Amino acid sequence: MNVVVHPSVFLRGAVVLPASKSHTIRAYLIAACGGTSKIVNPSDCDDALVARGVAQAFGALIRKSPNGSVTIEANKRRKNVSRLHVRESGTVLRFVLPLLSLRGRPCTVTGEGTLKGRPNSFLISTLRSMGVDMRGSGPRHAIPIKIQGGVMRGGSVAIEGTLSSQFISALMIACPLLREDTELTILGKNIVSQTYVTMTEQVLRKAGIFIRRRGVRRIFMRGNQVFTGLKTYFVPSDYGLTAFPLAAACLIPSDVVLKGDLKDEYLQSDGQILSFLKKMGVCWEKTSTTLSIRGPFSLKGGDFSLRNCPDLVPIMGVLALFARSRTRLLDIQHARVKESDRISDLKNELLKVGARIRDERDKLSIEPRPPQLYRRGCTLNPQGDHRLAMAFCILGLKLGVKVKDIECTKKSYPGFVRDMKILGAKIVPVS
């Protein structure tokens, strides 16, 4: 389905923020490794539902309560998983490969849509060095991925860290279940998304797993550990998704209240959106349950490193169009292998509205123009990428645009259009 987003005069109201997709996926899969867990306020996005389905496929007993919380009892049903479909979730795909390797049985992992072609070669190369007989499709080892068997062993292990932190997190979840201790060394000049690794460590510790960090590049995991369950785990609100209504309130006259779990007990990479907006001159009031903002703001440009938060590239690119000076988004080369090439695809679509934007391998440079010089009513294609689709909708509140394939937002934020309408956005389905 396509939508037309009309320019907005004023945004006003309150919405409840979506739960963290990244935390929910980790909670479901770690809960499936042992013990009993109660997940409170889990995300209901497509990727999170895939993770819950995988937990069930791994033999967990899952019960949903009327208030939306999910109780997971691990290892209640012994299942031989010979085929696993992870839809479009790159995170779930990477996380299940080591967990399936522990079982030592043949299994084929498949997916769909934007997951086709996404690279897994670094993780599969490491798993093969650990004794697993595994191969994906083509030189990138994309889906479908076939595990033929083998015995996964610990010891001294290395993984490339310049493309995705998901490879590291995947090994951190599985290696404590090996017989041997594992000393994981992270290779590469510029390690990306390190805060996601810390997020994984925090969830693992709550499940009773011992992890020792030896600097940025070495992680020690004792073998023969027992997952004790997450007990009661409260999923925080998702800062990466909060960025979209926040950005809207920065650009449009507004009086907006965003409600959720904002206690910041657990680290989130995309929490950097608050420091970025502060640097751009945005003000707000924040408590543990609300974030209140009144816009618009005269935005400052500047240099922003997104090495640890590549998911913020699309919305930062849109904000940069309306800053007072040039904005450079730096250290973003790993954004090219997300649901889309978030550098080239973002640039190509923003060029349609008249943006002055230049991309290099690891950066985007955006020179703002007077808003009246941007073209109105353009049709923008997110290339199936949920974060591009939401960013283009926020741009539409300023310029008016048509956005293709709005359903892709269900991957992370199924209530996005509804919430924006609550705040006063006019978003209309069209054929």
Point out the residues that are catalytic.
Answer: 311
Give the span between the Cα atoms of 384 and 373, in whole angstroms. 28
What CA–CA distance (Å, rounded) separates 57 from 61? 9
**Vertex 132, ends 127 and 134: CA angle to 5°?**
85
Determine the straight-line distance between the first and last CA of the chain, rounded to whole angstroms.
7
DSSP strand pairing (11-16 vs 254-259): parallel
Identity of residue 235:
V
Query: Tokens 């550098």 appear where?
Result: 343
Cis peptide before 66 (omega within 30 of 0): no
Residues 396 and 401: their CA atoms lie apart, in Å, by 5
Nearest to 244 by CA among 415, 401, 375: 415
Residues 250, 277 contacting (CB under 8 angstroms)? yes
Encoded tokens for 329: 């988004």
21, 48 Cβ separation under 8 angstroms: yes
Round to whole Å and give the CA distance between 287 and 244: 19
Residue burial 236-245, b: 16+ Cβ < 10 Å; e: rest: bbbbbbbbbb
